[in-house]
Amino acid sequence: MDATLNTLSQSQWDFSCDLEVDFGSEENASIVYATLAVDKELQPDKVKRLMTVSDGKLSVHFEATEARFLRASYSAFVDVLTLATKTIEEFGQRMKL
């Protein structure tokens, strides 16, 4: 029975995609990472998201049980990613912390 359960859990995440955004600096990529990391997936049993930062790039890996969950998660993530990116473009160079 354990082998069957293990097979089911491995095949549960049938849909995946990757996104990589080059922010040109480790600082900007880290700011966006920290901003977006606080938003957890609303349905973690159906969608997983893993983010990493390396060499000024934010990499995001999505996995989902169904294509519609993957699409919804990816779309919502891109919306907030766009907002964070525009905020850095607008205020990043002039803002003193």
Q: What are phi and psi of 10, to 5 degrees?
A: -70, -40
Residue 69 domain flag: yes
Residue 44 domain flag: yes
The number of distinct structural domains making up the chain is 1
Residue 20 domain flag: yes
pLDDT digits (tens, 9 = 90+) for 13-54: 899 999 999 998 999 999 999 999 998 888 899 999 999 999
> If we measure between CA atoms, which residue out of 13, 15, 19 comes closest to residue 75?
19
Residue 58 domain flag: yes
Tell me the CA end-to-end span of the chain in Å, nearest whole number: 56
> CATH code at 67?
3.30.310.50
Residue 2 domain flag: no
pTM, to two decimals: 0.79
pLDDT digits (tens, 9 = 90+) for 76-85: 999 999 999 9
What domain range includes position 25? Answer: 13-91
Query: What residues does 22 pair with on adjacent strands?
Result: 57
